[in-house]
Structure 1
Amino acid sequence: MSAGEKKEFVIEHVFEDVLNMKQVDDIAGNVEYHHNIPWNIQICRNSNFFAIALRCSLGQRSLEWSINTKISPSTSSIFGRRIEGKYQFEYSENYSEWCKIVKWADIQEYLVHGSLTVTLLVEIDKTRGVEAKKLRNFDEKSMKKYSDVVLVVGNEEFYVNKMHLASHSTYFDSLLLGNFSESEKSIIELKDVDPRDFQCFLELINGESPLDDYIVIDILKLSDFFDSETAIRRCEEFLLEKSKKSLKEKFHAAIKYNMNALKEKCISNMKSAQDFLSILPENAHDFDADLWKELFLKSHKSH
């Protein structure tokens, strides 16, 4: 998105039973994707004050990012009273939410039958570091000729080939080639999937290398959900050869996603008592008995 190009969207959420909020409490609305960026409205109570917040959930990324916005809030009330004005705000990984604060004593003036409807008009003036460079395009212009199904993820469409996708994922094998009703559809919506993660997943199974330390765990989670051996193997290769993640992060990922080569490398790199202590889980049941035995034997050999 260029500096001179503006985008806008409206996000709305109805919060129920607001008066039953505790003195320190918060309620988060559903995450919505607008311009490939995840947003949600949240309300918070802290004793005598009440805040309406618009959160951006991009989190940490490989590059520093920021989103310059103008926010025009209008909060419905039984008396037609609104919180009005236009607020400029810059989102970044250090400042991820804008909020408007009102007195809790005044909150009932904004409620209809105990519910609060929050509607925000958001203008995006400029972004930096938000849109990662795509290594391969799956849009209509690039892939329509070679595709036979369109997958809708968030507000983005991916033109893909059923046979190719199914060959890399038992999930898509069942969904696209099995007995589900979706197998007869030319357009299928995938819910609860981040379009940025799905872009990376498709790039992985098409031979590209989109991974970095900020996204690899998210891609592993998605690849495990799709039951894609190819994508999981590519993530394991990245963690083995290029990742700077800690020993604990790598080891726990190896255990959770059954990456044996990574697991063995992590264990071989455990040389000191501190190394063994660093990988211990908060819950002992996260490791099975065989793994505890393996770690015990390794620790004794190291001393």
Structure 2
Amino acid sequence: MNDKFLYQFSESSEWSTQFPDSNGTNQSPINLVSKTAVYDPKFKEKLLSISYSSSRETDFLNNGQTVVIYPKSRNDTSVRQEQAVRSVITGGPLDDDEYELAEIRFHWGRCSRRGSEHTVNGKAFPMEVQFIHWNSTLYQNLEEATGKENGIAAICLFVQIGRENPAFKALIADSLDDILYKGRQKTTYAPFNPASLLPVSELLHDYWVYDGSLTHPPCSENVTWILLRYPLLLSQEQAMDFRRLNTYSQETKVTNAYEGKLVDNFRPIQPLNDRKIRASFQ
């Protein structure tokens, strides 16, 4: 469950010595220039379908680089079948293949002027939520799908500061207090439905698509990125809940806790090169 690669976002310029894929030509994140996006009408012919279900068992982890949420699924042999669910996406740029949700990752800044990994027209958002899926039509699990053709699909949900989000508080905020330190993990048995984090269904039809990579090591490519146009709203206080997390374990003695805060955990923007950005809307 823990990321098996040791890395720091502050050292991303040195990742290539250990993770050669990070030198690829289709790396993520990117700056999305909206006026260069090309409308693709086929996205309207078969709409993107996001079918998330409630998980009765969910793990929350502070791995020292980010918060990762693992909703348990039927493909996880450690979970009882009556608790298992499948949350899948299909359609849109994914054609008929089904991609199963494996994990949810968060990226945020020390302040609200930055934090997202992707940017839109040069603008960063305070946070970014990434829903990582693997192609369950072609592969057996996330590990097998990583780096393979049509292996991974990732949904990017930007976060904007606004009113308090009650669903976010119920689903996530109450668990953050239990994972303040690196290595801390919490398992919850209350219903957890990732769909509660998404905009209403009518707003899910507007998105951008491009071919990229994982934004964390091993930075494998062949990732279909789906960037939702409309953001999730959180209050300033809810964003601050993430900035209280730490990059060090509870047993570690630190002289300056401020420097050990888990913030600015985003990879720098990568060159677009000759990639095309497609849009589901005009």
Question: Which TM class, normalised by the smaller chain length?
Answer: under 0.3
State the TM-score, normalizing by the size of structure 2: 0.22
Q: Relative contact order: is structure 1 or structure 2 higher (C-alpha 8 Å, sep ≥ 6)?
A: 2
